[in-house]
Amino acid sequence: MSQITRALFISRKDVESYYGKPPLITWGLMFPAVLMLALYVKNPATYLIVAPGIVGMTMLFGNTSMAAIVITWEKRSGTLQRLLLAPVTARTIVLGKAASAAAYGAATSLVLTLGLVLVLKMPMVRPDCFAAGVVLGAGTFALLGLTVAVRVREVFEAMTLLNFFRFPLLFISGVFMPLRDLPVWARPIAMVSPLTHVVELLRFGVTGQCWFPAPWIPALIVLAMLLVGWLIAGAAFRRYANQ
């Protein structure tokens, strides 16, 4: 059996054990849907400015939270330690865990997107760029959640650490305000945020416009961040998974 097949079995186990629970599905959809509806009711003419950001925010919080919950639960119960004794590599475990978390975030964001398209008539000018943003963002954010969660044993510790990253990202990444409206001094900071580039890909998919000269620029940047996240997550897992 190949390591890829083993990673798929790990992902399937996580989906069946954790992600398929109705409360988690509801939590992943209700908050962004209500937030988007509130913004639409407030000003229907400008909701497209924030819609791609809300989808990106859904992935950021959904992927990182679920990855953190699964890792900390399994560290406390001893499930992760038993998995480490199985004939699988650390990279295989990281791939399996990240894939299930990414699938959860991508699924919730796509359901939200479908609702925006059907109910609020959100356009979809470049669905290929939108799909690229969802896939790259889901993977990057899932690896971020794994990297943070593997260092601690309690869910509240993982969430506290993640919030140090997540909430600042919301305000510098063009979620509620396009990059062109950010102060000049804040734009270089925004460039180091993966959420910035994910949101710009999503925005280009919805409106055909983004702050960068071409959509392949944020796509390449977030792809590079995904690869770096893969290396960092693997190193963190090997060091902290047994602690």
Q: Residues 6 or more apart from 15 whose CB is under 8 A from it?
A: 100, 103, 104
pLDDT for residue 28: 60
Treating both helix axes as pointing N-terminal to C-terminal, what angle do 127-149 and 47-77 enclose, rounded to 10 degrees? 30
How many other β-carbons are positioned within 10 Å of the β-carbon of residue 36?
24
Q: pTM value?
A: 0.89
Of the chain, the end-to-end C-alpha distance in Å amounts to 28
Sequence letter at residue 198: V
Both tokens of residue 59?
A: 């992935």
Q: Residue 158 and residue 144: Cα distance in Å, rounded? A: 11
Q: Residue 103 and residue 108: Cα distance in Å, rounded? A: 9
What pLDDT tens digit does each residue of the chain (243 aa) get?
577 888 888 888 888 777 766 656 666 666 676 766 766 776 776 777 788 888 888 888 888 888 888 888 888 888 888 887 778 888 888 898 899 888 888 888 888 888 888 888 888 889 999 999 999 999 999 999 899 888 888 888 888 888 888 888 888 888 887 788 888 888 888 899 999 999 999 999 998 888 888 889 999 999 999 999 999 998 888 888 776
Q: Residue 141 and residue 149: Cα distance in Å, rounded? A: 12
DSSP state of 153: S
Q: Residue 18 and residue 173: Cα distance in Å, rounded? A: 30
The residue written with tokens 């602690």 in the block is: 243
Asked if 95 contacts 13 with a C-beta cutoff of 8 angstroms, the reply is: no
Q: Nearest Cα to 6, choosing from 106, 100, 89, 104? A: 89
Reported as type and span, the H/E element at residue 179 is none
Both tokens of residue 66?
A: 């679920």
Q: Residue 84 and residue 60: Cα distance in Å, rounded? A: 27
Q: Residue 180 and residue 172: Cα distance in Å, rounded? A: 12
